[in-house]
Amino acid sequence: MFKKALLALPVALALGATAHAEKPPEEVLQDLIESTDSPYLTQSEQNLMMMADSPAMWTAMDGEDLFNTPRGPNNVSMEACDFGKGAGVLEGARVELPRYFEDTGKVMDLETRIVHCMTEVQGFAPDDPAVARRHGSGSDHMKIQTYIGMQSSGMEWNNPLDHPLEIAMRDAGEVLFARRAGKADFNCYACHGQSGKQVRASVLPNVKVPEEWTKAISWPAFRVGHDNVRSTQHRVRGCYFQMRQAGMKAGTDASIALISYWTDQARGQPAIMPDMKR
């Protein structure tokens, strides 16, 4: 469906016509720009112009094929996987992650849930390239993540806080966000604790301004400077590198806790997926 529409129409039209999202990402962002006077949201005129034709749309198209095709030793498609809304249901799933899953007894984000699906449902070995390669538009992970993410564009962030572990992870993430460490004695608030801060020419988002923070955490997103679609876990890794702290290992409880807190701070704001970032 999605693939045929993309081939038949310009990408900008195809997104609005075929995705399950309430709004295309460029429209979601424009609504936020009109609702708040934010230099962060408007700092890249070129990105705003290109969003409707983002290369991430092609990544998502490949992701749809991977999601719906029986794969792995068990020859099962990812339609058998539950991302929190029931088997095969993707609409609204991304904005409700991380969340607790009964079948694993853990709070999981999008990336770790995909790993679980690939290994436990489809039967891939953990070291299979389909599972182990996590970064870049050419990876199965980024294709699948981008496709799943698109199904929640325009929907409000609403990661559940019903289970004690969900609350504990969110609270642990808040501690990590504020924790100073490393040779520069940085924490996340050093960059995101107030408006008007910059890294070189880039305006930084303020965690206390939800309209900015929703864009900050809207991943997967196409990073123009990387010429690749990137994930939330990739952004966590990048932030820790920039703070000159020890690297955060993807998929650990610590990384998911931080993402839980990030998401909670954008609660009620519309997700922009796939976003386009510097």
Burial class (CB in 10 A: 0-12, 13-18, 19+), 8: exposed
Catalytic option among 81, 188, 191, 239: 239
At position 161, the amino acid (one-letter code) is L
Active site residue 188: no
Can you tell me the distance from the alpha carbon of 98 to that of 236, in angstroms, rounded to the nearest whole number? 14
Element housing 169 (H / E): helix 164-178
Tokens linked to 30:
């424009």
Question: Residue 98: which of 142, 152, 155, 157 has the closest Cα?
Answer: 157
Q: Looking up tokens 């496709």, which residue turns up?
A: 147
| 161 touches 264 (CB < 8 A) | yes
Q: Enumerate the active-site residues.
A: 239
